Structure 1
Amino acid sequence: MNTLPSPHPPAGGPVEIDGLRADLERAGFTVDGVAEVVGDVAGAALLREQRLPALRAARSSSDVVAVLLRLFVLGDAVGRAELDAALPGTTTTGAERLGLVQSAGGGDDDPVRAVVDLRPYAAQDAAGAAHWWVTSDLGELATGAALRADHVLGIGGASLTLAQITVRTSRRRTLDLGTGCGVQALHATRHSDQVTATDISARALAFAAFNAALAGVDVELREGSMLAPVAGEQFDLVVSNPPFVITPRAAYDAGLPVMEYRDAGHGGDDLVADLVRGVGAHLAPGGVAQLLGNWEHHAGEDWRERVQGWLTDEGLDAWIVEREVQDPAEYAELWLRDGGMRPEVDRAAYEAAYAAWLADFAARGVEGVGFGYLLIGRPEAARAPWRRVEEVTGPVRQPLGTHMAEVLAVRSWLADLEAVRPGGQVGAELADERLVVAGDVTEERFLVPGASDPQVLQLRQGGGLGRVVRPGTLVAGAVGACDGELTVGQIVGGLAALLDLRADDVAREVLPAARALVVDGFLRPA
């Protein structure tokens, strides 16, 4: 474990930070600019946390982007004159004042090294394309050393996932709980009037403040644990990638470091459970919380019932999607590596921590750990809540936030219809509505060679969660007729007349299926 003191987070005044932004823009230090310098092979290696191909490419380039990439991402030293040329307004002296680099001297050839990671960030979320520069602590790729306990993580896979699944409709107040370096808060500023970001780490908040200033946006920052800094307040959107890793205390005793960005010190999956139980009180009517989390699969217990049991506020809507499950050994190995423990470095300590994980899971009957998304909403008006807990392990089309916003809108539309036509058959509220097939839906037919009729007919969703359904003949015929001209009731009547069936029998099959297809995004209100 690295025991040296952590470097101070970057900081500076508006003029200095604005000048840095102008320099980075002028240099073309963007995701595309980096890709052009390193090429496809080295770029792919960099995504696998392998720096050598990118370092070779950058060292052989005279582009200023290569200088900045070597310095701020790859952990390489550059000459003072090189950095002065790459950041002519800021210069090496200004970069030192901002807390970005350390220089060995004032000569042109004196080496300069980064003390923080600074990299371009580009993303496509439901609000469109985003582009910023984001600072964080240097990672293992640059330093070759284990992370410190107070390490402030940069942009990782979980951060990208949360940014892409978040609903981006306009919001008055948004809360980024456990902001880290502030990536979710940056995204939120594009569609929120006011953004508040909290973290238990003062270092993380300092990085988030610098990144907000570098992006030229306003974010209110508050220090504190979980929901405590916003006690008594309500928001229209809450996003959180909390420290959800399930780590037994015995693993710490064996030498595993406590990492602020991932470990909250709770037992099992209690942190996520507590957050689910508590976040509803902070949602304004119409408000939505979107969280990432881990949850345990216990022997003899359905994980869906267990996680749904955390929703103690019966007035809340909820949609929980499990994307992946790891067995106890896989889970321990993942977070041992993340914590800097390697069997080739200290086998005894590694295996002691590994054994602690396995023993803890075995003692509590944990057979696996799930990872996924949780969406929790407070309806605008009192009504029966809707709940859905499911596994979706196949590929999804990102950004998923657009699809999630559409699902929320459709659920509200259905609730309004049900309020007008309460009770009765499932889907009956759609009888007077006109529907159309979503633009991303295709129909697939599978036939035996030489056959005239398909053995299998299925509908495939090109976007969203990529669902596939296999409707019966009646439902397939109804879907094919959904072009916005006829109501669902008229389509049911037409099918009954065409096939010489009782209209009630057709309705019993078609209406519930039509409702399910509306909820999943296959059919939409005309």
Structure 2
Amino acid sequence: MDRALIDLLAADLAEAGFTVDGLAELWGQDAADALHRGQRVPALRALADSTAPLAVLARVFVLGLPTEPRTLDGALPRLGMPGAIALGLVDEHGAPQLDLRPYSVVDSQGVASWWIASDLGELALGHAIPENHVLGVGGASTTLSGIMIDAPVELALDLGTGCGIQALHLARHARRVIATDISQRALDLARFNAALNGVDSIEFRLGSLFEPVAGERFGHIVSNPPFVITPRVEGVPSYEYRDGGMVGDALVAKVVEDLAEHLEPGGFAQLLGNWEYSERSGLDRVGEWAEHTGLDAWVVEREVQSVEEYAETWIRDGGTRPGPAFDRLYSAWLDDFSSRGVERVGFGYLSFRRGPGPLLRRVEHYGHPLGGSLGQHIRQVFDAHDWLGSSDLEGATLTLAPDVTEERHYWPGADDPTVMLLRQGSGFARSIPIGTALAAVVGACDGDLPLGVICAAVAQLLDVDGEDLRAEILPEIHELVLTGFLRT
């Protein structure tokens, strides 16, 4: 943690144009897509023998290939080869010791561009990753940052920080951030990344789960915990970044259980997790976890895998490829699931809040494509729940959200539609079937008339009983307000 050397590295990276856009322009979208699939040949062909600083840095730190010390020294004119060795980026022969790549995100405050260091992956190592591997920015990381509520808070917690990416996100809206991890190596890399990106509002603490913050409360807690369900038997690798050391989904249940004592009033907690399906629904089990917290809770299950798919996914994630070793691990995973009667595994995200009034309890499976802006949307759902709990719905004037469209399907030659849908463009991009009465009510929600007046007019227009129409429509309107189709 030589801050002077880190500052020199940052200056060199900036001057070289070592950014997401810079790399995309350097080797093109097709090569970038191939890298995402774990294939570096197209990117390497695009670089050819270029000794331009950006090409050299990309070859060493993104593709994980050695280069001549003299060449790397030229690509880092301020830091130089000795400084790169001192920071642990390369060895004396020019072989990379860390993965270092740009990362960019857009949130409510605008664009953030960072550099993130992590351990070398399987592609650079040429073999399975070690158990103390510190992962860089992966799919789970971007999922969690994508649902993050970024309302300003005084103090936030990143539980299980890994390379520190979520702590950097939190630092965008929290005055102070505490980042914890059970791995000292992870904390060292996270601290390095904070320094490299000029962020000095993060405090790093070593320890398991909430132990390093006992007695403290936070306005925002986020966690990408080591939720992967891994057999606890000899011979099966246990990776610090993903395996929590507990049986089944017990670690996620434990994190959920302890949230309440660490959230201040109005505070949010958001995390990812896996849960097991056996004779009971996994979602039902997660619902019980949420119920016991006494907090507002919204659980969204995004995917359910068979135990076979699940085992294959995470064995490959560790770098083991098909062969005798793969088969041995595969059998161990299936034996573990069979011992508990587990047939499937769910994955999703969980949002909690220490709210002001009646509790929100929403547990759902939603596997459809999303529309973006999830953090803001999630916050709006909690706000809508508060409004619904304290307002007279019939007396409210509602408006249709600007991203909502109506879709109608007709049989050829028919005058009346056979199917009508409301579609949401942002947030969860929900699609909700609607009937004639609801379509008429929603279509009249332009902020001028109270909902009760609209319902009475639609009942008269359709020649139906007004009480019956309200009994049918109001629960549906309640759901449309909660999920963001209608706004107050």
**What is the Cα-based RMSD across aligned positions, in Å?**
1.4
**Pairs within 5 Å for 1:84-483:** 84-104=73-93, 112-218=94-200, 219-250=202-233, 253=234, 255-299=235-279, 301-313=280-292, 315-344=294-323, 347=324, 349-379=325-355, 381=356, 383-417=357-391, 429-483=392-446
Whether contact under 8 Å (2:397, 2:451) holds in the other structure is yes
Cα distance in 2 for partners of 1:94, 1:412 equals 54
Whether contact under 8 Å (1:125, 1:163) holds in the other structure is no
Amino acid at match of 1:388: R
Provide Cα deviations, 1:110-143, integer angstroms capped at 9, x if missing partner: xx12211111011234543221001011111212
Cα distance in 2 for partners of 1:60, 1:485 equals 67
Cα distance in 1 for partners of 2:188, 2:68 equals 28
Stretch of structure 1 that moved more, 72-81 or 47-56: 72-81
SS of aligned partner of 2:289: coil
Q: What's the CA shift for 1:77?
A: 1.8
Per the alignment, residue 450 of structure 2 pairs with 487
Stretch of structure 1 that moved more, 359-368 or 259-268: 359-368
Stretch of structure 1 that moved more, 352-361 or 513-522: 352-361
Amino acid at match of 2:2: G
Provide Cα deviations, 1:250-295, integer angstroms capped at 9, x if missing partner: 3xx2x22221111111001000011111111111111111000000
Cα distance in 2 for partners of 1:119, 1:12 equals 20
Whether contact under 8 Å (1:343, 1:350) holds in the other structure is yes
Whether contact under 8 Å (1:269, 1:296) holds in the other structure is yes
Cα distance in 1 for partners of 2:252, 2:108 equals 25
Per the alignment, residue 14 of structure 2 pairs with 25
Whether contact under 8 Å (2:66, 2:95) holds in the other structure is yes
Whether contact under 8 Å (2:299, 2:349) holds in the other structure is yes
Stretch of structure 1 that moved more, 118-127 or 40-49: 118-127
SS of aligned partner of 1:329: helix
Normalising by structure 2, we get a TM-score of 0.97
Cα distance in 1 for partners of 2:319, 2:121 equals 11
1:67 counterpart = 2:56: yes
Provide Cα deviations, 1:361-411, integer angstroms capped at 9, x if missing partner: 1221111001100111111x3x32111111111111224112111112211
Between the two proteins, the alignment pairs up a number of residues equal to: 487
Cα distance in 1 for partners of 2:107, 2:340 equals 39
Cα distance in 2 for partners of 1:103, 1:325 equals 47
SS of aligned partner of 1:50: coil
Per the alignment, residue 107 of structure 1 pairs with none
Amino acid at match of 2:358: A
Whether contact under 8 Å (2:157, 2:179) holds in the other structure is yes
Q: What's the CA shift for 1:314?
A: 5.4
Per the alignment, residue 12 of structure 1 pairs with 2
Q: Percent identity?
A: 53
Amino acid at match of 1:407: V
Cα distance in 2 for partners of 1:343, 1:503 equals 65
Q: What's the CA shift for 1:497?
A: 2.8
Whether contact under 8 Å (1:126, 1:164) holds in the other structure is no
Cα distance in 2 for partners of 1:21, 1:415 equals 50
Stretch of structure 1 that moved more, 393-402 or 25-34: 393-402
1:45 counterpart = 2:28: no
Stretch of structure 1 that moved more, 483-492 or 196-205: 483-492
Whether contact under 8 Å (1:242, 1:293) holds in the other structure is yes
Cα distance in 2 for partners of 1:353, 1:144 equals 19
Cα distance in 2 for partners of 1:192, 1:172 equals 5
